[in-house]
């Protein structure tokens, strides 16, 4: 039931925001699932959700926007996977959870915050590397690009398009590496099937909710989801001690 419940809730969230499946699912699964298996399930579920989103919400791909993020992300994923054995899951979740729980409410409480415009492609690439490293560690590839997109002041469609295509590429690469390393095993196939089936309808429902949101509402939803995900990550980390 924990596996299905986590996939259902995370599927709705990803359908709305275009990311965050792993953040929501991991915060639920971490309480009673082996960390390695939870990571595989989170990466696979996020990948399934992105494939479904690509079909249900078609977006044009603006190469100039995506390319710096994508190059950075593809560099970052192998680094994150290599760091995985050396970084404790509890410490990592506490750090990431605290970062989200502090930074996102600040942005939410300051809607007139001056957007960043000077860093350009360099900043995009750095955000991509950060997303790739975090994705390789935990499947949470959308965190850094989502925060950076909010700081850059991207509109609803541009942010959704970027996150959708970035996560699709990064999660696919991460899943390939997990299979190649043997972290994802045949014994996990039944659970992977359950995750894919459980998130199907909720993801479509979330996508329909997204289409009804205004620009301001979408920004608030993303920042609130990131804040809640940070709090849940911290709670799950405490539960793992």
**Domain extent listing, the chain:** 2-240
Res 129 pLDDT > 90: yes
Q: Which helix (H) or strand (E) holds 71?
A: helix 63-83
Q: At what angle do helices 2-17 and 189-211 cross, to 10 degrees?
A: 30
> Of the segments 35-39, 105-109, 181-185, 197-201, which one has the largest average pLDDT value?
197-201
- pLDDT the model gives residue 183: 82
Mean pLDDT of 44-60: 77
Q: Among candidates 203, 225, 220, 233, which has minimal Cα distance to 90?
A: 233
Report yes or no: 128 and 71 within 8 Å, Cβ to Cβ.
yes
Please say whether the dihedral angle defined by the alpha carbons of residues 72, 73, 78 and 79, taken in this order, is positive or negative: positive
Neighbours of 28 (CB within 10 A): 20
- Tens-place pLDDT, residues 155-203: 777 887 888 888 888 888 888 988 888 888 889 999 999 999 999 999 8
Four-CA torsion 65, 66, 67, 70, nearest 10 degrees: 150
Q: What integer pLDDT is reported at residue 97 of this predicted model?
A: 81
Predicted structure pTM score: 0.76
């Amino acid at each position: 039931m924990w596996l299905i419940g986590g996939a259902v809730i995370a599927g709705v969230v990803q359908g709305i925001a275009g990311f965050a499946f792993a953040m929501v699912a991991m915060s639920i699964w971490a309480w009673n699932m082996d960390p390695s298996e939870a990571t595989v399930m989170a990466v696979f579920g996020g990948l399934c959700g992105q494939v479904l989103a690509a079909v249900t919400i078609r977006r044009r791909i603006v190469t100039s926007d995506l390319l710096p993020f994508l190059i950075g992300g593809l560099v970052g994923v192998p680094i994150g996977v290599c760091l995985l054995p050396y970084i404790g899951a509890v410490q990592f979740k506490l750090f990431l959870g605290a970062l989200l729980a502090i930074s996102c409410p600040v942005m939410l409480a300051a809607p007139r915050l001056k957007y960043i415009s000077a860093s350009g492609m360099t900043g995009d690439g750095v955000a991509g590397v950060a997303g790739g490293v975090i994705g390789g560690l935990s499947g949470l590839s959308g965190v850094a690009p989502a925060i950076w997109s909010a700081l850059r002041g991207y509109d609803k469609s541009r942010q959704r398009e970027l996150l959708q295509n970035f996560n699709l590429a990064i999660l696919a690469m991460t899943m390939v590496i997990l299979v190649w390393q043997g972290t994802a095993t045949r014994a996990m196939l039944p659970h992977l099937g359950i995750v894919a089936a459980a998130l199907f309808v909720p993801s479509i429902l979330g996508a329909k909710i997204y289409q009804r949101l205004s620009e301001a509402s979408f920004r608030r939803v993303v920042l609130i989801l990131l804040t809640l995900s940070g709090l849940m990550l911290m709670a799950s980390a405490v539960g793992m001690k």
